[in-house]
Amino acid sequence: MRLRNIPRAESVLEACKEVVKDPESLRGDWNQTFKKEQPLHIEIGMGKGQFLLTLAAQNPQINYIGIERYSSVLLRAVEKFQELEAEGKAPANIRFICMDANDLPTVFAPAEVSRIYLNFSDPWPKARHARRRLTSNEFFKLYDQILTADGTVEFKTDNRPLFDFSVEELETSELFVLDQLSYDLHNDSTMNQGNIMTEYEAKFSSMGNPICKLIAKRR
């Protein structure tokens, strides 16, 4: 996937105090960067940030970290945060990291994260790239290293082949088990309760695409 480089991205991220510049130094002690010691939830591939910013505002009793690999993408979320900040509405319980998801165990200690959100992740459609998918068993092994004993992974997508792949991975996983599943989230009265839509979710749903969601928990 080719992304347009935004020259100002690096300087904006560097100037924002909510963007953690040296995340490895906080491994095992992430609560020190927040005002309160409370459960930690992370979103991998947070995109423009609507989902996590809304969650943080609604749940001040939880600390949130949004992770993006590309600075030009993370820029959008940070700018949205800064807009809220200018209005006096920015949540205090959110931080941002520009990093690759493969490095999760170097940034978070065992049992430090309570929940992981994956929303409309890159499908990596070619079979030879299957291990790069964030719902592959390769990544579930990483999640297992940082989640609490009762930790969960929540995944949403409109990409049915990717969703089917994710379900199949969980069926063979020795570390995680499928807890909840819906192939049409917005018409599922149970799983859709309290659902917060991402930008992609709103777009694809308006096009008539059913949204799939699963929740996986550790064995």
Catalytic residue among 103, 122, 179, 188: 122
Q: Is 70 annotated as a binding residue?
A: no
Q: Is 198 annotated as a binding residue?
A: yes
Q: Is 201 annotated as a binding residue?
A: yes
The counts of H helices and E strands in the chain are 7, 7
122 is catalytic: yes
- The answer to whether 121 and 157 have CB atoms below 8 angstroms apart is yes
Q: Is 79 annotated as a binding residue?
A: no
Q: Is 126 annotated as a binding residue?
A: yes
Q: Is 100 annotated as a binding residue?
A: yes
For 160-188, letters b (16+ CB in 10 Å) and e give eebbebbbebbeebeebeeeebbeebeeb
Closest CA to 26 of 98, 145, 107, 111: 107
Q: Is 29 annotated as a binding residue?
A: no
**Residues at the annotated binding site for substrate?**
126, 158, 198-201
Q: Which residues are catalytic?
A: 122
**Residues at the annotated binding site for S-adenosyl-L-methionine?**
43, 68, 100, 122
**Residues at the annotated binding site?**
43, 68, 100, 122, 126, 158, 198-201
